[in-house]
């Protein structure tokens, strides 16, 4: 289902350990009050927060750090049949959905007054889980969604149908979302993006790589089967599928690369309504924008202007029937989760089995939890935080954020390569940060959303329309700085440059990222590095372009930019040498922002950890020094294993380096070498002058 959303991620729930008290028995009299003491609470993982058994200490850290820290875990892990990859984020996501399912089941089982969040959560889930009812309705709901496209007698009418479908199921040729204007962050503006592809990226259409070519070859029969399920006569389904591929290939040829699309300066292109027709002729923009509810909007951001021009030209040169078949495919894929099993299985067979190598589809209850969270996530989140996120966890997380922020300020204040004026402004930006921890201060009001028992398809449609209307309603209003773009159940965190904020949903504040009963070194290496990562995103190769007020502006000196880009280039080159699959390397430029944030996050987290010791040396625990525990705690959160096709897709599309390569950032920190006696001649050794020292 489409969303005018900014961010998306996996989900999970936070866990909080409690402190047990001694039990009195007849055989063991109570201790005197003045000597009684609570038994120390134990960490959830191991004896001090680290899964020591997951290490492979037969490998030297300097030869292969990830193997040393996580080798036994990776060797013995079997990726679950319904997963393309598996690691710590997935582990927490599984826990999240189990706990969220309990909340949803309770809402579904208990009588609830019509219109309440409990009623909506319960009925939405029950309708999604009622496979018999969905099978009984067949493809009839889909036919209704397809009708405006099938009845279009011209390309102008088709463009109008595209705009009309944005609040329900349908294709997204020119998708958009509502966000702050990057150069005027006190107001909202629609931000348009290139779209229209059915495979993950332009490379799947254009690359000569054998594996991507194989996926491309399997795409046509998949499209043909989806079209046939949707009512296209079998006799022409295969030819129609080839025509759809040809159209999408035209789009792919003019799409910007992902590296180009992550440049915030290049993607800031303010267009008027008239600019669309003038700069991208061949598509009826007036019909599309009016149908999309933007008839009163005068300004827009066109993120990839040359792509828009090329896509409009491709649209104009493509037969109307092919466009209708393309719309049929994308609408059916969009709605497959609430259509009969044949649709769901066909979509998964290509997107899951073929593209990612996942053997089995997730059980329906997991997909049901996802559907509820995606549609009315804050209604679930409000129920969740009252049960799973106590105030003391929030308070401890707040303290960690303050400590990491202070460490970042110290590092900025002493940064040798930055000019004094820019350094002062950078510290002012850091001082103006806002951190959001756990959950929103105010929740989305779902009172205008109708959830009907037994109508899974209609419920998702109405939820999409509700969200679409909520997003459009922002235009012309003051910016809501309390809004969240992740639910509390999300195992992730984000930095929002136009808000100058960092956001940590409750679900990531649990082991192995954060455990109040674990050794401090583990927590600083885990959630501390994540906090540092998000803080430093405001100073990465794109985040640095935003001033303390969240404006996209050139506030660094030319010399500062030049020096920064030298360091950034060194890091991009370092990661571009990693080869997760034979012949396929990490795209250091695509993953640059995340890798800079990983480096800075680990640096400031280590600084904060050392400061927390108050000048003393950390105790040795089970033979591990404090610094060793810190770096092992960091490596532990990135324990990840991929299926081959999932890794390939990650390398093509992901702005992050694969999880099992992210701990290698430690090679750039001097304390890592000292902690593990890494010596010249070992594979991971970098001479001091080769270690990237952005921060």
- In which residue are the tokens 């008290």 written? 21
Residue 169's closest CA among 491, 585, 463, 566? 463
Name the pairing type of β-strands 501-505 and 434-438: parallel
CA 693 to CA 695: how far, in whole Å? 5
Mean pLDDT in residue range 619-639: 98
Predicted pLDDT of residue 552: 98
pLDDT at residue 89 greater than cutoff 70: yes
Distances (CA, A) of 218 to 199, 208, 222: 11, 15, 6
pLDDT at residue 9 greater than cutoff 90: no
Mean pLDDT in residue range 327-345: 98
- Confirm if 485 and 503 have CB atoms less than 8 A apart: yes
Predicted pLDDT of residue 7: 37
pLDDT at residue 1 greater than cutoff 60: no
Instruction: Work out the pLDDT band at 521, boundaries 50, 70, 90.
Output: very high
Residue 389's closest CA among 484, 488, 483, 487? 488
Phi and psi at 347, nearest 5°, equal: -65, -45
Q: Note the pLDDT tens digit of each residue in 218-237.
A: 999 999 999 999 999 999 99
Predicted pLDDT of residue 35: 36
**Cα 450 vs. chain centroid, distance in angstroms?**
28
CA 299 to CA 189: how far, in whole Å? 7
CA angle 217-220-224, nearest 5°? 155
Residue 307's closest CA among 412, 429, 400, 175? 175
Q: Note the pLDDT tens digit of each residue in 188-205.
A: 999 999 999 999 999 999
Give yes or no for a cis peptide into 387 (omega within 30° of 0). no
Q: Which domains does the chain have, with CATH numbers?
A: 1-101+391-443+484-695 (3.40.390.10), 139-339 (1.10.1380.10)
Instruction: Work out the pLDDT band at 396, boundaries 50, 70, 90.
Output: confident
Instruction: Work out the pLDDT band at 113, boundaries 50, 70, 90.
Output: confident
CA 234 to CA 246: how far, in whole Å? 19
Q: Note the pLDDT tens digit of each residue in 531-573.
A: 999 999 999 999 999 999 999 999 999 999 999 999 999 999 9
Instruction: Work out the pLDDT band at 41, boundaries 50, 70, 90.
Output: confident
DSSP secondary structure letter of residue 599: H
Q: Note the pLDDT tens digit of each residue in 403-423.
A: 999 999 999 999 999 999 999
pLDDT at residue 439 greater than cutoff 70: yes
Instruction: Work out the pLDDT band at 107, boundaries 50, 70, 90.
Output: confident
CB neighbours of 62 closer than 8 A, spacing ≥ 6?
673, 676, 677, 678, 679, 682, 683, 684, 685
Whether this model's pTM surpasses 0.85: yes
pLDDT at residue 523 greater than cutoff 50: yes
Name the pairing type of β-strands 299-302 and 270-272: antiparallel
């Amino acid at each position: 289902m489409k969303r005018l959303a900014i961010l998306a991620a996996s989900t999970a729930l936070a866990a909080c350990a409690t402190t047990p008290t001694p039990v009195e028995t007849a055989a063991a009299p109570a201790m005197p009050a003045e000597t009684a003491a609570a038994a120390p609470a134990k960490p959830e993982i191991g004896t001090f927060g680290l899964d020591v058994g997951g290490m492979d200490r037969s490998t030297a850290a300097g030869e292969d750090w990830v193997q040393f820290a996580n080798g036994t875990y990776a060797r013995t892990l079997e990726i679950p049949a319904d997963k393309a990859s598996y690691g710590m984020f997935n582990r927490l996501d599984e826990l999240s959905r189990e706990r969220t399912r309990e909340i949803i089941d309770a809402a579904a089982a208990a009588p609830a007054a019509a219109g309440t969040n409990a009623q909506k959560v319960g009925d939405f889930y029950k309708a999604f889980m009622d496979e018999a009812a969905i099978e009984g309705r067949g493809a009839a709901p889909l036919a209704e969604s397809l009708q405006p496209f099938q009845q279009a007698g011209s390309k102008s009418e088709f463009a109008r149908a595209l705009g009309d479908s944005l609040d329900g199921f349908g294709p997204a040729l020119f998708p958009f979302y509502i966000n702050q204007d990057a150069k005027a962050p006190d107001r909202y503006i629609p931000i348009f993006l290139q779209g229209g592809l059915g495979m993950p990226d332009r490379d799947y259409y254009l690359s000569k790589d054998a594996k991507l070519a194989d996926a491309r070859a399997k795409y046509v029969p998949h499209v043909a089967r989806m079209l046939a399920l949707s009512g296209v006569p079998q006799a022409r389904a295969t030819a129609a599928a080839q025509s759809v591929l040809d159209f999408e290939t035209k789009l792919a040829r003019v799409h910007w690369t992902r590296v180009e699309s992550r440049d915030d300066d290049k993607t800031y292109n303010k267009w008027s309504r008239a600019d669309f027709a003038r700069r991208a002729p061949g598509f009826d923009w007036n019909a599309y924008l009016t149908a999309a509810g933007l008839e009163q909007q005068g300004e827009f951001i066109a993120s990839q202007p040359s792509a828009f021009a090329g896509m409009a030209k491709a649209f104009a040169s493509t037969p109307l029937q092919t466009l209708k078949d393309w719309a049929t495919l994308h609408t059916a894929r969009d709605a497959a989760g609430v259509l009969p099993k044949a649709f769901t299985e066909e979509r998964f067979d290509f997107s899951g089995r073929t593209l990612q190598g996942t053997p089995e589809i997730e059980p329906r209850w997991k997909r049901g939890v996802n559907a509820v969270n995606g549609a009315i996530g804050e209604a679930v989140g409000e129920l969740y935080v009252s049960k799973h996120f106590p105030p003391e966890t929030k308070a401890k997380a707040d303290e960690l954020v303050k400590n990491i922020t202070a460490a970042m300020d110290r590092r900025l204040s002493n940064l040798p390569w930055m000019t004094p004026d820019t350094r002062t402004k950078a510290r002012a930006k850091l001082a103006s940060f806002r951190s959001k921890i756990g959950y929103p201060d105010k929740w989305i009001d779902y009172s205008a959303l109708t959830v009907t028992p037994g109508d899974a398809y209609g419920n998702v449609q109405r939820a999409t329309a509700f969200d679409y209307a909520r997003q459009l309603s922002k235009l012309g209003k003051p910016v809501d700085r309390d809004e969240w773009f992740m639910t509390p159940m999300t195992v992730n965190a984000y930095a929002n440059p136009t808000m100058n904020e960092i956001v940590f949903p409750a679900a990531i504040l649990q082991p192995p990222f954060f455990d109040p009963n674990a050794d401090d070194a583990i927590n600083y290496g885990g959630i501390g590095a994540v906090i540092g990562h998000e803080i430093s995103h405001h100073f990465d190769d794109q985040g640095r372009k935003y001033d303390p007020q969240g404006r996209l502006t050139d506030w660094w000196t030319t010399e500062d930019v030049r020096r920064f880009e030298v360091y950034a280039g060194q890091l991009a080159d370092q990661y571009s040498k990693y080869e997760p699959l034979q012949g396929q390397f990490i795209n250091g430029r695509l993953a640059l922002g995340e890798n800079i944030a990983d480096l800075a996050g680990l640096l400031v987290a280590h600084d904060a950890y050392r400061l927390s010791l108050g000048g003393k040396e950390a105790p040795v625990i089970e033979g591990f020094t404090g610094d060793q525990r810190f770096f092992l705690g960091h490596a532990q959160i990135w324990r990840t294993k991929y299926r081959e096709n999932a890794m390939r897709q990650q390398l093509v599309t992901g702005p992050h380096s694969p999880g099992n390569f992210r701990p290698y950032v430690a090679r750039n920190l001097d304390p890592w070498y000292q902690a593990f006696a890494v010596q010249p001649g070992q594979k991971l050794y970098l001479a001091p002058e080769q270690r990237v020292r952005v921060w």
